[in-house]
Structure 1
Amino acid sequence: MKRISVIGGGPGGLYFAYLWKSRHPQDSVTVFEQNARDATFGFGVVFSDRAMDFLQAGDPETADQITARMEAWSNLSLVHRGEKVEIDGVGFSAIGRLDLLLLIQQRARDAGVELKFDTHLGSVDDIPQSDVIVAADGVNSLVRRTFEGDFQTSVSYLDEKFAWFGTTKTFDTLTQTFVASKYGTFNAHHYRYSPTMSTFIVECDRKSWIGAGFDQLDPEASRARCHEIFAHTLDGHDLIANNSTWRNFPWIWNDRWSFKNMVLTGDALRTAHYSIGSGTRLALEDAIALADALDAHGGDITAAFAAYEAKRRPIVEKLVRAAKSSAAWYEHFPEHMKLHPLDMAYSYITRSARIDDQRLHEMSPHFMGRYESERPKAAE
C-alpha cells in the first residue's frame, strides 16, 4: 500500500487512519472530512459494559486515554408511571462525542496522518488517486450512494420519530423514561457523558409526533415542547439542541462490502439501532479488522477485503439481529406502557432475546429478587 484515502472523519475513519499510519509510517494516509475539526452533531457516545475490552487488548494507550474521560455506571434504570425501577449489573460508560473525536484526531495527527477538514467532496471523482479508499462517511456515504448497485445496498426506515438533544441535567445511570402526556406517549433515553452534561434522545410513534404538532413546529418550538413533555425529568434544567431535527431511523445494509479499491465501514456499511449502544464500537472494530486484513494480505486488496468481510460479517449480522429485536420493542412501547413498571422493566431488559431468566438471575440478582417477590402483588 502507498496511498490511502479515508472518507469521513468520525471515530471509525480516524481510528483506521491512525492504525494504518502508525504501522506503516511510509504510506500516505489522508482523512477527508466535510465538517470543521471541532464540529459534531450529537452529544454523548455510549458503550455497553466491557465494550472497550477489544480496544484495551490491542491498543491499551488509546483505550486508557478514552476511558479516563468516560463517565461509568453499573445499573440501568427505567421510569414508568413515575416509578423508577433499577436493573443492576447492566453497566455502561459514555464520553462526549467531540471529546472522543478530538482525542482520536490527535492520535492520528501524531502518527502523521493528514487531516483535511472543511473539505466537501462533490463526487467520488474528487477523491485523489488512491490505492485504497475507505468509506467511513456514515449514513449518507458518498461512496456507497454512488455505487449502490455494486454494493447491493438496501435502505428502509422505521416509522417512529426521534430527536437527539443534550441537557445540563446529569443522571446517575442510563435511564429510559416513559411519559404519557396530553399529546401522546413519549420515551427519552438519557445518560450523562460528562460531569456536567447528558445526552437526551426523545422518541415517539408517529401518532404522538403529529399529536404534539412536531410536524408543524419550528426547531426552537419543537425543543420547547420536548422540554414541556419531560419537564419533571429535566427538573428545571435546559434541553439543548444541536441539529436536533426529527428523524426516522434508517436501516442500512450492504450485501457487498467492497467494490474495486473501495471498502465500506461503520454506518456507511450498516446501521445498528441506537437503543443497543453499539454504533461507535462497531465502527472501531471495523477499523481494526480492516487494518489487520490489509496487513495480512499485503498488496492483494481483493483478498484483504474478502478477509475483512469474512471476519466481521457473522459478528455484525448477529448484532444487527439483536438491534432489530430491540427496535421492534420500541415500536410498540405505547402498548408496553400498559404494563406495571416491574413488568415493563422485565419486558425491556429481555427485548433483544439475548437475555433469559437464568442470565438475569446471574447478572441482575437484586432486580430479579424484587421482580419475583413483588410481581404477584403487582398483578393483583
Structure 2
Amino acid sequence: MRIVCVGAGPAGLYFAISAKLRDAGHEITVYDRDPPAATYGWGVVYWDDLLDVLYRNDPESAREVTARSVLWQDQEVRVHGSGGEQTAHFGGYGYSISRSALLDVLTRRASQLGVDVQYGHRVADHSTLPEADLLVAADGANSGIRGQSAAFGTRIDVGLNPYIWLGTDQAFRSFVFSFEQTSAGWIWFHAYPSIAGISTCIVECSPQTWHSLGLDVLGRDQGVRLLEDTFKRALDGHRLISRSRGAPAHWQRFAHVTNETWYHGTTVLVGDAAHTTHFTLGSGTRLAIIDAVVLAHSLQKYLAVEDALREYDRHRRVELHPVQAASRTSMAWFEHLDQYIDRDAVAFAHAMSVRHRSQSPWHHQLHIATQIAAVRTARRAFATGRRWYLARRRGDGEDAQSRRTGRLPCPPGLDQPGNRDG
C-alpha cells in the first residue's frame, strides 16, 4: 500500500513505524513543513500505561524512549498569596521526555524501517501530494489537510486563558504547580523536568490578568523577563527560556478540536488533527501514539482501506469522548480558578485533584495523610516497587504469541470495546 502522511510529530512518525512493523511492504512517505531538528515546545509527560503500549508495539524504540526520559516523583502545589506561601502535596510519579528527543528517536526508527521522512516540505494543498492509497493527516490541531474538507464536521472551541509554553534552567524534581498572586490577579505555572538541568514551564492566567500585566503588548523578551520577576521565588532566581529548537514561544489560547468523523474517503485524521486534550491532562502524546497503533492495526486486520478506517474511527472516537469531556472540565476549572483559590493550600489542592473525575470516598483522607512527610516517603517507596515490577514485566519485549505468529499484539481497546485508554 502507498501511504502518504502529512506531519512528522509523534502521531505521524509512530503511525509510520507501526504500519511498517505490520507490513514491511507498505511504501510510506512522511512530509513535514519544518526543517530537520526543528520542533516547538519543551517536554511531554507520560505514565506507565504508555510505556506498556510502546513495549508491546515496538520494544526497540520503547527502550530508546525510556533511556532518554527522566523520572519525576510527587507533585507540589505552591500558593504564594497575600497570606504568605503555602504548599500542599500529591503522591504519584511519572516520566517526561523532551519533545525534540522523542522526535529524534521516532525519526531514526522510522527511517531504519524504510520510511521516507521528508522535511521542509510544506503541503499547501493535498492535491499537490503524490498519488496514494491512504492519506494520513497528522498535521496538528490546525490541520491544513482537515481544513480542506467540511466532511469531517470539525468544531474548534477556543479556551479563555492565555498560556505560553516555556523552559527553565530550574531543575525541578517533582511536578510543580505554582500560583502567584499579583496586583493584577493570579498567574500560575505547571512545571516538570524535561532533560538534565532543564524543566518545562507552562505559564497560564486569566485574560484580565494577562491584559493588566501588559503581557498582551510587551515584546517576547520583555514578557519573559516580567514572568521571571513574577515567579522569582518559585524559580529560585533561575531564568525562563523562550526558544527551544524552533521559533520563540508565543502566547496562545487552547484550541479544543472535535470532529464528527475521523475519516473521509481515503483520508484519515490522527493525533491533534482528530482531537485535542487540554495540557492540564498531560495526555496529548499518549493519545496520539495510541491513535497511530490502532490505525496501523486496523489496516493490518482489514483488506479494504474503507473497512479499516471505519473500524479505527468507531473505536477511537468512542474511546475519546470521555477523555475530551474530562479535558473540557479541566480547562474550565482553571478558567474559574478564583472560585477555589481562596481556600487553604491543602483544600485548594484537593479541589484541583478532583476537578475532572469522581474519586473514591477515601481519596480525601489519603490526600490529608499525604501532607505528612513520613507518608510521602512510604508512598515513594511503594511507587519504587511498582516501577520495578512494571519494568520487569515489560522487559520480555514482544509477547510469546507475537513471536509465534509474527503478528503484533492488538492495541488496547481495538478488540476489547469495554476498555478505554483515558
Task: Give the residue type in structure 2 aligned to 1:349.
Answer: S
Post-superposition shift, 1:358? 2.9
2:352 alignment partner, SS class: helix
Post-superposition shift, 1:369? 7.0
Say if 1:205 and 1:22 are closer, same or farther in 2 by CA, change over 3 A: same
* Per-residue deviation, residues 298-356 of structure 1 (Å, max 9, x unmatched): 2x111101111122122211111111111111111133221100100100111112433
Post-superposition shift, 1:56? 2.2
Does residue 271 of structure 2 align to residue 272 of structure 1? no
Does residue 134 of structure 2 align to residue 135 of structure 1? no
Structure 2 unmatched ranges of 5 or more = 374-422
Does residue 334 of structure 2 align to residue 330 of structure 1? yes
Post-superposition shift, 1:133? 0.4
1:311 alignment partner, SS class: helix
In structure 2, distance between residues paired with 1:190 and 1:326: 17
* Per-residue deviation, residues 96-149 of structure 1 (Å, max 9, x unmatched): 0000000000000000000100111111111111100000000111111111x2
Say if 1:237 and 1:368 are closer, same or farther in 2 by CA, change over 3 A: closer
In structure 2, distance between residues paired with 1:109 and 1:138: 21
Contact kept, 8 Å, 2:65 with 2:102, in 1: the verdict is yes
Contact kept, 8 Å, 1:48 with 1:277, in 2: the verdict is no
More deviation, 282-291/321-330: 321-330
Percent of residue pairs identical: 30
Match of 1:8 in 2: 7
Post-superposition shift, 1:49? 4.7
Does residue 350 of structure 2 align to residue 346 of structure 1? yes
Calculate the TM-score normalised by the size of structure 2: 0.83
Post-superposition shift, 1:45? 0.7
In structure 2, distance between residues paired with 1:360 and 1:70: 31
Calculate the TM-score normalised by the size of structure 1: 0.92
In the comparison of the two structures, how many residue pairs are matched?
365
Say if 1:361 and 1:48 are closer, same or farther in 2 by CA, change over 3 A: farther
In structure 2, distance between residues paired with 1:73 and 1:360: 23
Contact kept, 8 Å, 2:69 with 2:194, in 1: the verdict is yes
Task: Give the residue type in structure 1 aligned to 2:90.
Answer: I
Contact kept, 8 Å, 2:88 with 2:371, in 1: the verdict is no
1:1-380 maps to which residues of 2 (within 5 A)? 2-81=1-80, 82-88=85-91, 90-147=92-149, 149-242=150-243, 243-298=248-303, 300-359=304-363, 366-367=369-370
Q: CA RMSD in A?
A: 1.6
In structure 2, distance between residues paired with 1:117 and 1:354: 44
In structure 2, distance between residues paired with 1:69 and 1:129: 37
Task: Give the residue type in structure 1 aligned to 2:369.
Answer: H
Task: Give the residue type in structure 2 aligned to 1:266.
Answer: G
Structure 1 unmatched ranges of 5 or more = 371-380
In structure 2, distance between residues paired with 1:212 and 1:275: 23
1:224 alignment partner, SS class: helix
In structure 1, distance between residues paired with 2:108 and 2:209: 43
Task: Give the residue type in structure 1 aligned to 2:201.
Answer: F
In structure 2, distance between residues paired with 1:351 and 1:48: 20
In structure 2, distance between residues paired with 1:368 and 1:83: 12
Say if 1:135 and 1:70 are closer, same or farther in 2 by CA, change over 3 A: same
Say if 1:354 and 1:309 are closer, same or farther in 2 by CA, change over 3 A: farther
